[in-house]
Structure 1
Amino acid sequence: MTLDAAYRYDDNPVDALLRVDRLSAVAALLPADGAAAGGLREFVEHVARIYEANVAALTAMLDGVVLMSAARGVTDRAGVPVGGAPCTTAVIHDAPVLITDTHDDRRYSGDPLVMASGMRSYVGVPLPLANRAVGTLCVMDQHRGAFNEEDLRALQSLAAHAVRLLHATRHGG
C-alpha cells in the first residue's frame, strides 16, 4: 500500500525525524569509507539502469537534511532540506511512495525543490535499520507516468538488497 490522498498535513515530521533511536540507526547507514561508498554507487547505477531513469539514490535522512549515501544523476549530493520531499514522506510514514506526476499531486505540486528539479515521477521505499526507517532507495524521472505499482514492488526487493549491502559496507563484510 502506498501513501495517497490520505496523507495528513497535520503530521509533525520533526517529531518523527528527531527520535534518537532513529538518528542512531542513520549513523549505521552511512558508509564507513570511500571503498564502501564505491560499492553503493555501483548498486545505485544498476538500479537506475533497471528503471531507465534519470535519477536513482540511496538516501539517509537526518533531522533536517536528506543525505545522498550514493546517487546517480544528482549533481549536488551534499544534501537537500527534508521539507516536503517525497523521501521524507516515505521515512516519516515508513511506507513506499509512488508519484506518477508531481504536477498533479497536491502534496508535491507546489514544492519548490520538486519543481526546480524537473522531477515528474518518483518511486521510493523506506530503508529499515534497527526497526526504523532511516532513508530511502528511490528513483526519479523527468517524464510523467514513468513508474507504476509493479516498479514499486520490484524496488522493495531491491531495497532489501540495499540494506544488506549497507550492513556489509558499514561493517566490512
Structure 2
Amino acid sequence: MEDDAQEMKQECPPAPFAKRVIAFGMDAVLLFILIQAIALVIPKLYDDNSKREFNQLVHQVSLLGSDDRFDSTKMATFIEDSKLSIETYEMLMSMLVAACGLPILYFCLGEIFFNGQTLGKATFGLRTEHIDGSENITLIKAFIRSTLKGFALITLLTPFLLPGLLNFCFCLFNRNRRCIHDILSGTITVQPKL
C-alpha cells in the first residue's frame, strides 16, 4: 500500500507554484464578482428605509480617512453611532455571511463534487487529493481545507492580508509545495500526468 502511495505521488507531482497562483487568482476573481453581485442583490430584498440607511452608511464610510476605515474599533463605534434599524443590521450581516461563506462553499464544492478541482484548477489540470495519493478527499477534510483557504482569500482582500500571504507563501518553503491549508487538511494539490 505504501509503495502504491509512493508510486501515485511520482505519477502526480506537486502542482507548480505559478500554476497554483494563477488558478487561485482565477478563482479569486470569480468569487469577487459573485460577492459583488450578491452585494447588489441583497439590498433589493429589504424595504426602502433599510436601503436608504445602507446607502447613507456606505456614503459616510467613503468619506472617512483610510486610517479610520481600517481601524476595526473606530468602524464598530461608527456603525453603532449610525443608529441603524434592525433590518439594516440584518442586511449588513447577510452581506458579511455571504462574503465569508461563499468562498468556503465554492472551494468545498469543488473539492467534493468536481474531482478536487475548482474552475481555476480545472483550467490548468490541477487537482486536490489526499497526501497518501488517494484521489477523493472526505467532506471533513474538504471543509477544513476550504475554511482555511477561504479565510486566507478573505484576508488577502483586506488590509489584514498577512494570514493569507503566510498561508500561500508557506508552499515556497517545503518540497511538496503544500500550503498551510494543505498541511492541516492532509491534502496536496497535484498536476496529474496526462
Say yes or no: TM over 0.5. no
Measured against the shorter chain, the TM-score band is under 0.3
Larger strand proportion of the pair? 1
Query: Which of structures 1 and 2 has the larger relative contact order (alpha carbons within 8 angstroms, sep 6+)?
Result: 2
Q: TM-score, with normalisation over the residues of structure 2?
A: 0.23
